[in-house]
Amino acid sequence: MSDKRTDYISWDEYFMGVAKLSGMRSKDPNTQVGACIVSNDNKILSMGYNGFPMGCSDDEFPWCREGGPLDSKYVYTTHSELNAILNYRGGSLEGAKLYVSLFPCNECAKAIIQAGITQVIYDCDKYADTPAVIASKRMMDAAGVEYRQYKHTNRKIEIEL
Ligand SMILES: [Zn+2]
């Protein structure tokens, strides 16, 4: 007879939870996305969130979505998935899984494919109708990267910090 806890979080809850926690580090006032890269044997390899590259000050570069071509965040931000890939210092990500709170755009899909990541578990897919996401799925389909939507369990986790 085992006295093991039965209400522990699942692997999916754990890794999506870490991805979402990473997203909470983002300074973007409109969109906070987090990613978590996991090995096949369920070890966390890397994490990332959307933000500006190193040396590009969060206080000096623009966070707005409108304005001239050089005045919006779009030309400067690095997405969470790419940051998670670039943050990894351990070697190859071949065969790894990526958990992300928003479906990867086409630019991140290229990086995911080229890094050798073979599975994407995403939460929100609110940009499914945009060219960026349609192109992303087309490339991942062609490259054999599997993707599946995270299934919500509606578990609430409160962490006092
Ligand atoms: Zn992206």
Going by the DSSP 8-state scheme, the letter that residue 130 receives in this structure is S
| Ligand 1 centroid from CA 59, angstroms | 22
Ligand 1 is an ion; its neighbours by CB within 5 Å are 79, 105, 108
Q: Report yes or no on 95 lying in a domain.
A: yes
Taking only the tens place, the pLDDT of each residue in 72-122 is 999 999 999 999 999 999 989 999 999 999 999 999 999 999 999 999 999
Total count of domains within the chain: 1
pLDDT at residue 1 above 90?
Answer: no
Q: Please indicate, yes or no, if residue 158 is contained in any of the structural domains.
A: no
Q: By C-alpha distance, which of 102, 56, 45, 103 is closest to 78?
A: 56
In a domain, 160, yes or no: no
- Tell me the CA–centroid distance for residue 153 and ligand 1, in Å: 26
Cα 8 to Cα 1, 14, 102, 154: the distances in Å are 18, 10, 25, 14
Which of 13, 60, 81, 94 is catalytic? The answer is 81
Beta carbons within 8 Å of 63's beta carbon, 6+ residues apart: 27, 28, 29, 30, 73
6 belongs to a structural domain:
no
**pLDDT bucket at 2, cuts 50 / 70 / 90:** confident
Mean pLDDT of 115-132: 98
> Catalytic site residue 158?
no
Expressed as residue numbers, the domain containing 131 is: 11-149
What's the gap in Å between 2 CA and the centre of ligand 1? 45
**For all residues of the chain together, what is the average pLDDT?**
96
Residue 114 is assigned to a structural domain of this protein: yes
71 lies in a domain?
Answer: yes
DSSP string for 39-106 = -TTS-EEEEEE-BPPTTS-TTTS---S-SSTTTSGGGT-B-HHHHHHHH--SS--TT-EEEEEE---H
